[in-house]
Chain A
């Protein structure tokens, strides 16, 4: 296989955006610590999703009906706090980034399929788990569907990687590169902009 230029190299921000998110053969010295940490973070994540109300069917569907903005408020706040926090930690050299690859065709087609499925299911993968935890038993059916859908994707993954997932592949492209400014400059405009949207949502919506 010949890949003339890797999309990874076309990225221009002087940042280490993390390697490909694939399994690395580091399983030999197995340690239970990552698994325990995963479970602890999972408990916290599920606890917060439930307390936020975003594991509730009517709140998730209400989001898609543009009648309930709880989910948008939770996500925007998480994005603002997380962005500031993680880019600060990264500037201090304390964390590695895990920027997701941009593949326009796959992002758009997959995103639209996801969206339609989201409305039918009434939950998304994370909130579906939380929904089951709080006792929404229809989430069992949704979770079985999630496993079937994942396996179906694996069935065609070879073919998709040769086609759709190559269309518009831009590698780990970040918004500042798209508008050709530095990360710091971008964040100085971006974060206040998200904050304004959040304040507007708070003022003009009941929930």
Chain B
């Protein structure tokens, strides 16, 4: 038997006290976990990193692809203005390795979910609905939009995201990546606690 120390405050199933902290349906354990062991998945992502370094001379990273896509749209809507921006002079808006990586990731996740019978096709995450109500789709979409804006701006300023800094930068021992990764969690924990536990 394994002892479970409960700094894990919200084990609503196991502790009646915890039910106070987590309103019904808002604990992650109320929903299924990953299909595969996190250690297997982590190890395979580590190996995938080695492959991208070896075959593509690139670290895994997701956030710049959104910047390139946005730049391509900008090139259609306001080409002169977009070309005048410093960022797009350094990073040409075009379909590159990272854009393909991102598109591939959408497809790969679809295949995995399809294969595992986990395709969700839902607009509102159940945990969100349990906390904020079933009829809050517009709010959810607005919050996700604002969140996306902050995430992309933050990632560009910090120099990477949870993949670029959190995996690729961290595994190469970049000081800035570890600083950024810690700050991702500090900011995220504060905001998530405000949303779900206070």
Contact = CB atoms under 8 A, between A and B. Distances in A.
4 smallest A-B Cβ distances: which pairs? A42-B104, A145-B148, A115-B187, A53-B34
Contacts of B182: 111
Given A100-B160, A133-B105, A85 B47 contact: yes
B197 A65 contact: yes
Contact of A95 (B31, B57, B127): B57
Given A38-B101, A134-B119, A148-B70, A100 B172 contact: yes
A15 B65 CA distance: 28
A203 interface: yes
30 contacts: A38-B58, A43-B104, A45-B104, A45-B105, A47-B109, A47-B112, A58-B28, A58-B127, A62-B28, A65-B197, A68-B29, A81-B42, A82-B167, A97-B172, A100-B159, A100-B177, A101-B176, A104-B179, A108-B183, A110-B155, A110-B158, A110-B159, A118-B188, A124-B162, A133-B107, A137-B121, A146-B148, A150-B70, A186-B173, A207-B33
Q: Name the residue in B66, B100, B149 with the highest tally of chain A Cβ atoms < 10 Å from its Cβ.
A: B149
B109 A130 contact: yes
Interface string B166-177: 111111111111
A109 B154 CA distance: 7
Contacts of A113: 150-151, 153-154, 157-158, 187
Interface in B138-165: 140-165
Interface of A: 22-23, 34-59, 61-68, 70, 73-83, 85-86, 89, 94-104, 106-122, 124-139, 141-155, 157-158, 160-161, 164-165, 170, 172-178, 183, 186, 190, 198, 202-207
B161 A114 contact: yes
Contacts of A41: 48, 51-52, 55-56, 60, 101, 104
Contact of A129 (B31, B32, B62, B119): B62
Given A44-B48, A115-B191, A121 B160 contact: no
B76 interface: no
A67 B100 contact: no
A95 B52 CA distance: 10
A110 B105 CA distance: 24
B102 interface: yes
A75 B91 CA distance: 28
